[in-house]
Amino acid sequence: MQSPKIINKRLIIFTRYPEPGKTKTRMIAALGSVGAAKLQRQMTEYTLAQVQFLQSFYPVSIQVRFAGGNKQLMQEWLGFELDCLAQGEGDLGEKMANAFIAAFENQIASVAIIGSDCPGLTPQLMAQAFQQLHLGSDLVLGSAIDGGYYLIALSRFIPELFTGISWGSDRVLQQTVAIAQQLNLAIAYLPPLADVDRPEDLQIWEQRHK
């Protein structure tokens, strides 16, 4: 009897429990608190479906790192078979760093982190990120049009990428690339895509869900 094949690639989704008033707060002016929470719910479910489709043709494990709510609420929502962990304390950089560290400590060879607010991120692009790591890139970035990034992928932990960054600003990608260049890292880029963060971004989501 053959032993089960070990999957040594992991895709981590960063998201938030869809509690009204505590999620997608920049959308509340346009959608109300309940509507903004509903958008968070729909976008997370859409992102998870894309990742699960990736699994149909590319061997990758899924983990959900969440803010708000708790593990019970997350698994009742998204499924008890899912690996769900709280993001923990600290800024976004610390939370992502901890997620990468935990994965590499568990002998995962390639790790990508994505958010739940980029509807243009396809399973094919996710697979491309892992392929770029396999081809020798140290860092893969999916650049967001707002100046951040919608995906970051590594095959080893590089702590400098998660400190000294103005998280939430339009300088995140620029600052990350500058640090990577100082470290002489080989960087691969995925195509620029738009995040859905503000009322003016809603048309991006609506076009995806006509």
Banded pLDDT at 207 (limits 50, 70, 90): confident
DSSP state string for 82-112: SEEEE--SS-HHHHHHHHHHHHHHTT-SEEE
> Helix or strand or coil: residue 69?
coil
> Whose CA is closest to 172, among 72, 93, 61, 89?
93
Q: Which CATH number fits the domain that encloses residue 85? A: 3.90.550.10
Banded pLDDT at 1 (limits 50, 70, 90): very low
Q: Provide, rounded to the nearest whole percent, the portion of the chain with pLDDT above 70.
A: 96
Q: What pLDDT score does 206 carry?
A: 87
- Full residue range of the structural domain in which residue 146 is found: 9-208
Total domains in the fold of the chain: 1
C-alpha torsion 87→88→93→99, nearest 10: -50
> Helix or strand or coil: residue 162?
helix
Q: What pLDDT score does 43 carry?
A: 96
The answer to whether residue 3 is domain-embedded is: no
The answer to whether residue 124 is domain-embedded is: yes
The answer to whether residue 186 is domain-embedded is: yes
The answer to whether residue 100 is domain-embedded is: yes
| Beta-carbon contacts of residue 177 (< 8 Å; ≥ 6 apart) | 141, 187
Neighbours of 159 (CB within 10 A): 10
Residue 19 pLDDT exceeds 70: yes
| HSE-up of residue 75 (Cα within 13 Å, Cβ side) | 11
Angle formed by the axes of helices 28-55 and 71-78, nearest 10°: 70
- pLDDT tens readout for residues 65-112: 999 999 999 999 999 999 999 999 999 999 999 999 999 999 999 999
Decide: 87 and 95 in contact? Cβ < 8 Å.
yes
- pLDDT tens readout for residues 30-43: 999 999 999 999 99
Report d(CA 125, CA 150) in Å as an integer.
11
The answer to whether residue 127 is domain-embedded is: yes
The answer to whether residue 2 is domain-embedded is: no
Decide: 45 and 146 in contact? Cβ < 8 Å.
no
Residue 208 pLDDT exceeds 80: no
How many angstroms separate the first and last alpha carbons of the chain?
48
The answer to whether residue 1 is domain-embedded is: no
Residue 3 pLDDT exceeds 60: no
The answer to whether residue 102 is domain-embedded is: yes
